[in-house]
């Protein structure tokens, strides 16, 4: 007996080693493959998004794209790293249990089969329900996150309009809509956990009751009987894990499918495509030949009607017209952001459709209506203008690069204000450049355009935010640049327009007039009325500048305004931004006890529920040792002599009844703990996110020095409280 026991003990050791090795290998493999696949998927997805045409971005919000990159890809990663291995392991366990059960004794296996069926049904329906509710929670939460992200990114606007309360209310109502399905899914999970914890006792009751009958008849041994009981318990237990894992895997597949569809989506304007002509040296003649445009996102409206005009090379062409007349649409067509629905846009008499897109865009620089800067230094922002072409081609010394950046800044009249900043060209401009004044942002974006070795300069109301003095200087820079480039400028200011060689007046998507300033003034059409409106709109300083350039009154007024802005920026720069990293450290260093105390404090309204949950947890914990005691008693009874089989049957019936009772208690206590904790967890999570958001909304404007992503991360921190309480349930 000793030697046999030794042998089997050794088998256990071998088994333990084998289990350790295979689980280690499978976890590591799945983990690394998951990470690698997700990295590749994220890269491919971002690249696919970057190659889409503008029409795509008209119908897909940035929030949607970032949610896909973050949440959906996380789901895919989780599916690959953990759910796939869980589902496979659980399926293998279940199949083995089923086979062993039939090998041991088929009659007992048949009696126990309904347990498997019941668990499969509970697992599949419960799992499907959980996934369904979870999807609703995800949709509502991502709506709340987009709202939070948008509000935090536009803190100045929110503060200026005083709509913090309104936004906080909207955020809270999104969270409330997410709470109900959240509680429903947690309750369903609690039900499934309760079932899986009641199953072992139920199976023991059924196995021992049925097997004792076959045992008394001498059809089955004690060993086969206990093996069957243990195997069925293990098999029934894992079924509950297969279904949620399989459901998660199917969500993984569907998330991956959506991402793969986007990756496979071919763009008509793919900047990464190598097709198209790109050999020509560019002179810079731009011509519109009967061009019409309908935006894909609003296909019931013709924005441009058979527009024809020419912008001669090395000359300044000004486009003007009332708002909505189609000026920016013309620029969008030259950049090939959209495709014309009829007619041709030509560069040096070649249809731009036949040219390589990235090369074509490389010939131009665009300064848009809203000067957008990247969250980097001024130096890096100006350098972005030439990165697409130079980085690949030429290796230059830092001094050469620096000289070019400074020269571009000088051309855009930006060098003076940059060097006056404490950190000069190394000044961080903040999110979207908000740490600079509007005019300063515009000058930097002009410098970013001028640093390019370009043929066509597109200015879409690019100098509208400049004060009169800066505008006059930038105007000189543009005129100089125009000698080397074709310049197309959309402007409202007369002072900008009157220096142009060619003027195109747009009206309701059509070219109303074109010619030089003097030509079209003489025609007495749209232009003079626009000029008059312009003079009224611009006020005295602009009018004076237009008629006599040496008036200083308006310039001084504008300068004072500009200095005021600069002083504010200086002020903001001097204020040390709140140290987010410290704040994060503070959160991290709260420690388990203080975090728990914090959670308990914020959960005070749910004390009765929490106490109920705790009591249920303790009772649930007692069930397992109770089960073991009865199990030992059963084994003792099974060793009774054949003469006392009558007593054996009676005792086994009693123990089967006790097992049934334990199953009932386990089910109720696990359910009670799960539901109580689910409810209070959701409440706590909602309350914390709400409070965190309100406190962010009530910060002063200087808080916008926090990066929005840091603030949204703070909101995510509050989500972790959910996990803490979930862990509590497990403890």
Give the SS3 label for residue 489: strand
Q: Which residue number, 58 or 261, has a Cβ lying nearer to ligand ATP? A: 58
**Count of residues near ligand ATP by CB under 6 A:** 13
DSSP 576: P
In this chain, which of 101, 142, 325, 455 binds ligand ATP, going by CB under 6 A? 325
**Beta carbon of residue 303, minimum distance to ligand ATP (angstroms, whole number):** 4
Q: Which residue number, 332 or 429, has a Cβ lying nearer to ligand ATP? A: 332
**Beta carbon of residue 502, minimum distance to ligand ATP (angstroms, whole number):** 18
Binding segment toward ligand ATP, per CB under 6 A, in 133-141, 259-267, 318-326, 548-556:
318-326
Binding segment toward ligand ATP, per CB under 6 A, in 193-201, 271-279, 323-331, 716-724:
323-331
In this chain, which of 181, 200, 321, 708 binds ligand ATP, going by CB under 6 A? 321
In this chain, which of 134, 327, 404, 485 binds ligand ATP, going by CB under 6 A? 327
* Subset of 11-70 contacting ligand ATP (CB under 6 A): 58
Of 556, 568, 560, 555, which Cα lies nearest the Cα of 437? 568
In this chain, which of 284, 326, 343, 672 binds ligand ATP, going by CB under 6 A? 326
Residue 533 neighbours by CB distance under 10 Å: 13
> Which whole-number Å values give the CA distances from 167 to 162, 549, 663, 686, in the listed order?
10, 47, 49, 16
Q: Look-up: residue for tokens 């913090």?
A: 164
**Beta carbon of residue 466, minimum distance to ligand ATP (angstroms, whole number):** 17
**Beta carbon of residue 328, minimum distance to ligand ATP (angstroms, whole number):** 3
Give the SS3 label for residue 280: coil
Separation CA 481–CA 417 (nearest Å): 21
Q: Which residue number, 55 or 314, has a Cβ lying nearer to ligand ATP? A: 55
Residue 597 neighbours by CB distance under 10 Å: 12
Separation CA 96–CA 256 (nearest Å): 31
**Beta carbon of residue 550, minimum distance to ligand ATP (angstroms, whole number):** 30
DSSP3 helix / strand / coil % (the chain, rounded to 5): 75, 10, 20
**Beta carbon of residue 562, minimum distance to ligand ATP (angstroms, whole number):** 24
Q: Which residue number, 58 or 636, has a Cβ lying nearer to ligand ATP? A: 58
**Beta carbon of residue 525, minimum distance to ligand ATP (angstroms, whole number):** 18
Q: Which residue number, 323 or 582, has a Cβ lying nearer to ligand ATP? A: 323
Separation CA 32–CA 36 (nearest Å): 6
| Cα R_g (the chain), whole angstroms | 36
Under the binding rule (CB under 6 A), the answer on residue 329 touching ligand ATP is: yes
Token pair of 73 as six digits: 């890809």
**Beta carbon of residue 373, minimum distance to ligand ATP (angstroms, whole number):** 20
Q: Which residue number, 323 or 730, has a Cβ lying nearer to ligand ATP? A: 323
Token pair of 522 as six digits: 């003489």
In this chain, which of 217, 298, 392, 641 binds ligand ATP, going by CB under 6 A? 298
Q: Which residue number, 327 or 432, has a Cβ lying nearer to ligand ATP? A: 327
Q: Which residue number, 68 or 327, has a Cβ lying nearer to ligand ATP? A: 327
Under the binding rule (CB under 6 A), the answer on residue 4 touching ligand ATP is: no
Separation CA 168–CA 158 (nearest Å): 11
* Neighbouring-strand partners of residue 460: 490
Under the binding rule (CB under 6 A), the answer on residue 324 touching ligand ATP is: yes
Q: Look-up: residue for tokens 């599916």?
A: 79
Token pair of 51 as six digits: 């190659």
DSSP string covering 332-354, please? HHHTTSS--SEEEEEETTEEGGG
In this chain, which of 303, 491, 569, 673 binds ligand ATP, going by CB under 6 A? 303
**Beta carbon of residue 461, minimum distance to ligand ATP (angstroms, whole number):** 7
In this chain, which of 59, 279, 323, 548 binds ligand ATP, going by CB under 6 A? 323
Token pair of 277 as six digits: 């002509």
* Neighbouring-strand partners of residue 316: 487
> Which whole-number Å values give the CA distances from 461 to 56, 464, 708, in the listed order?
25, 5, 28
Binding segment toward ligand ATP, per CB under 6 A, in 198-206, 327-335, 644-652, 655-663:
327-335
Q: Which residue number, 238 or 504, has a Cβ lying nearer to ligand ATP? A: 504
Q: Which residue number, 126 or 326, has a Cβ lying nearer to ligand ATP? A: 326
Under the binding rule (CB under 6 A), the answer on residue 718 touching ligand ATP is: no
Q: Which residue number, 56 or 583, has a Cβ lying nearer to ligand ATP? A: 56
**Beta carbon of residue 298, minimum distance to ligand ATP (angstroms, whole number):** 4
Q: Which residue number, 176 or 297, has a Cβ lying nearer to ligand ATP? A: 297
SS3 per residue for 505-571: EEECCEEEEEECHHHHHHHCCHHHHHHHHHHHHHHHHHHHHHHCCCCCHHHHHHHHHHHHHHHHHHH
Under the binding rule (CB under 6 A), the answer on residue 441 touching ligand ATP is: no
Separation CA 365–CA 385 (nearest Å): 8
Separation CA 684–CA 729 (nearest Å): 15
> Which whole-number Å values give the CA distances from 43 to 56, 358, 409, 628, in the listed order?
19, 20, 34, 53
Q: Which residue number, 319 or 546, has a Cβ lying nearer to ligand ATP? A: 319
Q: Look-up: residue for tokens 């519109």?
A: 288
**Beta carbon of residue 85, minimum distance to ligand ATP (angstroms, whole number):** 46
Token pair of 486 as six digits: 């074709």
Q: Which residue number, 57 or 102, has a Cβ lying nearer to ligand ATP? A: 57
Binding mask 258-297 for ligand ATP (x = CB under 6 A): -------------------------------------x-x
Q: Which residue number, 59 or 639, has a Cβ lying nearer to ligand ATP? A: 59
**Beta carbon of residue 476, minimum distance to ligand ATP (angstroms, whole number):** 24
- Nearest 5°: the CA angle 546, 447, 288 is 70
Decide: 202 and 665 in contact? Cβ < 8 Å: no
**CA dihedral of 320, 325, 330, 332, whole degrees rounded to 10:** 120
Residues within the interface to ligand ATP (CB under 6 A): 58, 295, 297-298, 303, 321, 323-329
């Amino acid at each position: 007996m000793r030697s046999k026991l030794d042998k089997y003990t050794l088998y256990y050791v071998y088994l333990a080693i084998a289990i350790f090795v295979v689980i280690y290998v499978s976890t590591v493999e799945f983990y690394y493959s998951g990470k690698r696949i997700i990295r590749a998927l994220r890269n491919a997805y971002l690249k696919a998004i970057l190659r889409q045409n503008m029409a795509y971005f008209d119908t897909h919000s940035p929030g949607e794209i970032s949610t896909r990159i973050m949440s959906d890809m996380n789901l895919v990663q989780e599916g690959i790293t953990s759910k796939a291995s869980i589902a496979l392991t659980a399926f293998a366990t279940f199949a083995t249990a089923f086979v062993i059960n039939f090998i041991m004794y088929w009659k007992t296996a048949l009696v126990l089969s309904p347990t498997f069926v019941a668990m499969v049904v509970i697992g599949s329906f419960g799992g499907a329900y959980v996934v369904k509710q979870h999807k609703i929670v995800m949709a509502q939460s991502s709506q709340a996150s987009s709202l939070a992200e948008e509000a935090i990114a536009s803190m100045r606007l929110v503060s200026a309009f005083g709509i913090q309360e309104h936004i906080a209310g909207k955020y809270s109502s999104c969270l409330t809509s997410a709470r109900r399905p959240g509680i429903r899914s947690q309750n369903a999970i609690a039900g499934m956990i309760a079932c899986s914890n009641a199953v072992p006792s139920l199976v023991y009751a059924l196995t021992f009751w049925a097997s004792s009958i076959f045992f008394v008849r001498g059809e089955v041994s004690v060993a086969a009987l206990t093996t069957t009981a243990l195997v069925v318990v293990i098999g029934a237990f894992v079924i509950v894990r297969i279904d949620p894992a399989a459901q998660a895997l199917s969500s993984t597949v569907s998330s991956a499918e959506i991402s793969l569809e986007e990756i496979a989506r071919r763009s008509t304007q793919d900047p990464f495509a190598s097709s198209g002509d790109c050999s020509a040296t560019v002179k810079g003649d731009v011509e519109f030949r009967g061009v019409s445009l309908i935006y894909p996102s609003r296909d019931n409206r013709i924005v441009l009607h058979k527009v024809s005009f020419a912008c001669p090379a090395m000359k300044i062409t000004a486009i003007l017209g009332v708002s909505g007349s189609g000026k920016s649409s013309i620029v969008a067509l030259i950049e090939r952001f959209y495709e014309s629905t009829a007619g041709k846009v030509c560069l040096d008499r070649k249809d731009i459709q036949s040219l390589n897109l990235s090369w074509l865009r490389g010939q131009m620089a665009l300064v848009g209506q809203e000067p957008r800067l990247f969250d980097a230094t001024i130096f890096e922002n100006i350098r972005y203008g030439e990165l697409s072409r130079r980085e690949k081609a030429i290796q230059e010394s830092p001094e050469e690069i620096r000289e070019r950046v400074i020269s571009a800044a000088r051309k855009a009249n930006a060098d003076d204000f940059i060097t006056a900043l404490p950190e000069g060209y190394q000044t961080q401009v903040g999110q979207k450049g908000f740490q600079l004044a509007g005019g300063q942002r515009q000058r930097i974006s002009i410098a970013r355009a001028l640093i390019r070795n370009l043929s066509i300069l597109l200015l879409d109301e690019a100098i509208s935010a400049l004060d009169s003095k800066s505008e006059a200087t930038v105007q000189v820079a543009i005129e100089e640049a125009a000698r080397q480039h074709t310049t197309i400028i959309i402007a409202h200011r007369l002072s900008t327009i009157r220096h142009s060689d060619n003027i195109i007046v747009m009206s309701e998507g059509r070219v109303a007039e074109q010619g030089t300033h003097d030509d079209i003034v003489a025609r007495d059409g749209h232009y003079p009325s626009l000029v008059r409106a312009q003079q009224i709109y611009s006020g005295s300083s602009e009018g004076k500048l237009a008629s006599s350039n040496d008036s200083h009154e308006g310039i001084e007024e504008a300068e004072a305004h500009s200095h005021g802005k600069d002083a504010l920026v200086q002020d903001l720069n001097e204020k040390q931004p709140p140290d987010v990293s410290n704040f994060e450290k503070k959160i991290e260093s709260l420690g388990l006890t203080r975090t728990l105390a914090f959670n308990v404090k914020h959960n005070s309204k749910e004390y009765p529920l929490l106490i109920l949950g705790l009591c249920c947890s303790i009772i649930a914990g007692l069930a397992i040792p109770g089960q073991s005691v009865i199990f030992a008693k059963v084994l003792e009874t099974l060793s009774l002599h054949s003469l006392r089989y009558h007593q054996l049957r009676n005792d086994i019936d009693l123990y089967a009844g006790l097992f049934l009772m334990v199953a009932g208690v386990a089910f109720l206590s696990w359910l009670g703990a799960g539901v109580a904790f689910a409810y209070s967890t959701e409440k706590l999570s909602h309350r914390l996110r709400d409070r965190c958001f309100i406190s962010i909304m009530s910060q002063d404007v200087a808080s916008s020095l926090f990066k929005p992503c840091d603030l949204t991360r703070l909101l995510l921190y509050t989500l972790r409280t959910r996990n803490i309480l979930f862990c509590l349930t497990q403890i």
